[in-house]
Amino acid sequence: MENKNTDPKEVYTEYNEKFDKKLMIDHDYDGIKELDNPPPPWLMWLFYFTVIWSVWYLAWFHWFDMGRLQEADYAHELEEAAEKYKVTAMDEETINILTAEEDLNRGSEIYKKSCVACHGDAGQGGIGPNLKDADWIYGSEIKDVFGVIKNGTDKGMTSFKSLGDEDILKVSSYVLKKL
Ligand code: HEC
């Protein structure tokens, strides 16, 4: 290189002339100067994009309420799950015993799977009390039986809440109708 110039000011002046560009900004603060040296275009475009995106986001979610924010989305998913798994709670005071054969069959299925171990295959009792006779510790009405199966007792009867109210009602009906 022929250029032996080491004074930065002159180097910049040369550069500006050569590329017909003004690299040094005129602004001078106590001798400190600033270069006109913006970030590369792709970075600037990324930045503009985030600005536009934020305005869109504000409008979509907050001004016009078009989208669902986290909380609303969560509530929506719970609703969908409740619909899908039918976990809507039944009111124990107003439930009625089921008599349809298919409901009682379903009740029988559940009984065979979850209850025989303690109450015997015909409800004759074992670890748990007899469910055939007319003696009831907690009452013989559908709501009593439903309540015991759903909530369990502290003397050894497990809570079967996880069955869901519909299945609890079916097995309760089975116990009362068929055993
Ligand atoms: C781990 C053993 C066990 C299993 C499994 C079990 N039970 Fe029980 N169950 C008991 C015991 C023990 C009692 C008595 C609880 C008490 O006295 O508080 C009882 C009480 C009951 C009662 C109340 C009886 C009364 O005289 O009031 C009903 C109804 C009943 N169970 C139904 C069921 C059904 C239906 C299932 C299956 C979904 C089931 N149980 C599964 C142990 C069990």
Mutate-to-test residue for ligand 1 from 112, 119, 140, 163, highest number of ligand atoms within 8 A of CB = 119
Q: How far apart are CA 22 and CA 29, in angstroms?
A: 18
Say yes or no: CB of residue 153 within 6 Å of ligand 1: yes
In this predicted structure, which of 9-18, 67-76, 103-112, 169-178 has the lowest mean pLDDT?
Answer: 9-18
Q: How far apart are CA 158 and CA 108, in angstroms?
A: 18
Between 86 and 85, residue with greater pLDDT? 85
Distance 140 CA to ligand 1 centre (A): 13
Q: Residue 87 — very low, low, confident or very high, per pLDDT cuts 50/70/90?
A: low
So where are the chain's domains?
101-178
Q: What residue has token string 């015909």?
A: 122
Question: What integer pLDDT is reported at residue 89 of this predicted model?
Answer: 66
Say yes or no to pLDDT of 151 above 70.
yes
Listed in order, strand segments (DSSP E) in 1-87 are 24-29, 32-35
pLDDT digits (tens, 9 = 90+) for 165-174: 889 999 999 9
| Confidence (pTM) | 0.62
Q: Residue 37 — very low, low, confident or very high, per pLDDT cuts 50/70/90?
A: confident
> According to CATH, what is the number of the domain 101-178?
1.10.760.10
Say yes or no: CB of residue 25 within 6 Å of ligand 1: no
Which pairs from 72-80 meet CB under 8 Å and 24+ separation?
A: none
Question: What integer pLDDT is reported at residue 65 of this predicted model?
Answer: 86
pLDDT digits (tens, 9 = 90+) for 5-26: 778 778 777 777 776 566 777 7
Rg (CA), the chain: 39
